[in-house]
Amino acid sequence: MRVVEIPSEIPLRHTEDWERVLDVVPAAVLIVDSRGAIVYANEEAALLTGYTRDELTRCDVEDLVPEDRRSAHAQWRSGWRGECRPMGTELDIECRRADGTNFPADVSLAPITLADATYVVATLRDETERRRSEDELLRRALHDPLTGLPNRVLFLDRLHHALERRGREGQPVAVLYVDLDGFKDVNDTWGHATGDEVLQVVGRRLAATVRPGDTVARFGGDEFLILCERLTSEKEAADVAQRLLDAISVPVDLHAETVDLSASVGIAVAGHPSDTSTGLVDAADQAMYQAKRTGGRIATGPSPLGS
């Protein structure tokens, strides 16, 4: 192994030497004076912002802030006391490129004194890809991978907030529990791949049939849930249920095969301030089984009072 001896003093005596060092730093670096003028920008800063280095050194730091945020940024800068700010503090920061587009950024700030003057060294990092990845992870955590519909977790969260709004506004909130009849026969006859395609078709039909603002979720297997808010009456929930059954009953044509479907729907309407999300879903589930037992296709359960 070759031993590399590090000199105790690195001879960076000229501006050109510092610029050469900063140009190999894999991050955008700006040096800003006390007035907010950019006095130095490395090559990575030019690539990130779309300005040339000369253009950047003729800019004020506010030029890199979206217009609708400049006033707030200037106010924050006037109150800044020169403390170091590392990256990763999760502030909502947006930067503006030369072409007028914006991008999310993380910024570190460090004051430095040079020739009796105080400057700020700002290091910028584009957060677009990281935030896109986080958004995608969140989307996957809250949506069914087969149909793309909200999953159980997201549905229960929306139902919880809907019940809170109902407490303030007083308008009915209903949960519709939809279960396909005899779906096991579809899988047994045509295979699970065809069954998955049928579920995707059903999911799209349900989403296209409900009212604007309603939520359609896949609860698992061949079960779907619909959240109906701001109903004018309980009858309106039954009307929605009938439209859903009509949409499901249209034959599904797949691979030269026609799949006939039917379903049963249970309805539960919140009727008490102490109704809970899980209690309302359970009541709709029980009503759905009642619909299957009676052959009526639609059944409305009692309010899950205090459940």
pLDDT tens figures, 33-62: 888 899 889 999 999 999 999 999 999 888
Q: Which helix (H) or strand (E) holds 126?
A: strand 117-126
Identify whether 196 is a catalytic site residue. no
Nearest to 271 by CA among 301, 250, 249: 301
| Of 295 and 276, more confident | 276
Per the CB < 8 A criterion, the answer to whether 301 and 290 are in contact is yes
Per the CB < 8 A criterion, the answer to whether 227 and 155 are in contact is yes
Contacts of 264 (CB under 8 A, 6+ apart): 178, 179, 181, 288, 291, 292, 297, 298, 299
Using pLDDT thresholds of 50, 70 and 90, give the confidence band for residue 289.
very high
Gap between the Cα atoms of 255 and 211, Å rounded: 31
Catalytic residue among 144, 222, 275, 285: 222
Contacts of 50 (CB under 8 A, 6+ apart): 97, 98, 99
Summary mean pLDDT of the chain: 85
Question: What's the pTM value of the predicted model, to 2 decimals?
Answer: 0.67
Nearest to 217 by CA among 262, 298, 259, 277: 277
pLDDT tens figures, 237-266: 999 999 999 999 999 988 778 889 999 999
Nearest to 299 by CA among 238, 248, 231, 240: 238
Per the CB < 8 A criterion, the answer to whether 205 and 175 are in contact is no
Beta-carbon count within 10 A of 145 CB:
8
Share of the chain above pLDDT 70, in %: 90
Strand pairing class (263-269; 298-300): parallel
The conformation of residue 273, written as its DSSP 8-state character, comes to T
What CATH number matches the domain at 143-300, 3.30.559.10, 3.30.70.270, 3.40.1030.10, 3.40.640.10?
Answer: 3.30.70.270
| CATH of the domain spanning 15-131 | 3.30.450.20
Given phi > 0 = left and psi -120 to 50 = alpha, else beta, which region is 230? left
Q: Which of 19-23, 145-149, 187-191, 232-236 has the lowest mean pLDDT?
A: 19-23
Per the CB < 8 A criterion, the answer to whether 286 and 177 are in contact is no
Using pLDDT thresholds of 50, 70 and 90, give the confidence band for residue 8.
very low
Using pLDDT thresholds of 50, 70 and 90, give the confidence band for residue 74.
confident
Domain definitions of the chain by residue range: 15-131, 143-300
